[in-house]
Amino acid sequence: MKHFLMNWLILTIATGITAWLIPGISTIGDHAWVAYGSFALFMALINASIKPILHILAIPFTIFTFGIGALIINALCFELASNIATNVFGVGIIAHGLGWSILGAIVISIASSLLSGIAAD
């Protein structure tokens, strides 16, 4: 449980960084940190459950496209978490197009990796 909560906190901060850096991603709701937290909650749940299965099923496509398949899966998981958060809680973040989703997934991945490395120390 502690690992999940730490992952959720790291994803919340990474989501805030992403929304701040990328102009094509915006928050829905009155309080930005609630939007980041709700999106990060569903992103953490998706990362723990659905995403590994998708990556395994898409191994041939990912190899054939030299990694673009993994990027697309990350962007689709980003969109799924965004849709669930905004539909369940009424707050969250949205990307204004697939290109912004791909860029957002990349930035969240880099930021969460860096934050995880800092938290491990």
Instruction: Give residue limits of the domains in the chain.
Output: 2-120
Q: State which residues of the chain have pLDDT below 50.
A: none
Whole-model pTM? 0.89
Alpha carbon distance 32, 30 (integer Å): 6
DSSP label of 30: S
Tell me what pLDDT residue 104 has. Answer: 95
DSSP helix/strand/coil, 92: strand
Tell me what pLDDT residue 11 has. Answer: 94
Instruction: Give helix 98-120 / helix 2-21 axis angle, nearest 10°.
Output: 130
User: What single letter denotes the amino acid at residue 53?
Assistant: I
Alpha carbon distance 47, 117 (integer Å): 18
Tell me what pLDDT residue 2 has. Answer: 85
Number of H helices, E strands in the chain: 5, 2
Phi, psi of 25 (to 5 degrees): -120, 130
DSSP helix/strand/coil, 24: coil
Tell me what pLDDT residue 71 has. Answer: 92
User: What single letter denotes the amino acid at residue 119?
Assistant: A
